[in-house]
Amino acid sequence: MSGKYFEELEVGLTFEHEPGRTVTETDNLLFTSLTQNPQPLHLDAEFARQSIHGRILVNSIFTLGLVVGLSVADTTLGTTLGNLGFDRTTFPHPVFIGDTVRATSKVIDRRASRTKPDRGIVTFEHTGTNQR
């Protein structure tokens, strides 16, 4: 698999990234520990059981990374020079251990770089969903 080049990424082009990925307890525990996030909603089953969710909540930054990661093979694998940032991130639904996350990406803007005319900037809208 390889990513697309600037010339191939027309506005409106949409990708459905397959396969999705099922989140494990180990994924959540390792990511939460690695990022030094002591939030008991991510680590403490008893605490989480008493929350509005009733169980451990997967770290939302893991979810963000997973959604973007699922997109790479189809969009930018081997073709990108870097990530310039994220404009807007929302988490409208929780992700729990055992959920399968799927991702889609849409090219919503494409332009030549103002400072580096030999390069282009592509803006994607990434959307992650689970089975809920």
The whole-number pLDDT of residue 131 equals 82
Task: Please give the mean pLDDT across all residues of the chain.
Answer: 95
Kindly give, in sequence order, each residue whose CB lies less than 8 Å from that of residue 58, ignoring residues fewer than 6 positions away: 23, 27, 28, 42, 94, 95, 96, 97, 99
User: Looking at the domain assignment, is residue 1 inside a domain?
Assistant: no
User: Looking at the domain assignment, is residue 51 inside a domain?
Assistant: yes
Tokens coding 85: 């940032």
- Domain span at 35: 6-129
User: Looking at the domain assignment, is residue 116 inside a domain?
Assistant: yes
- As a whole number, mean pLDDT of residues 101-111 equals 98
Q: pLDDT band for 103, please (50, 70, 90 cuts).
A: very high
The whole-number pLDDT of residue 2 equals 84
CATH of the domain at 125: 3.10.129.10
pLDDT of residue 1 exceeding 70: no
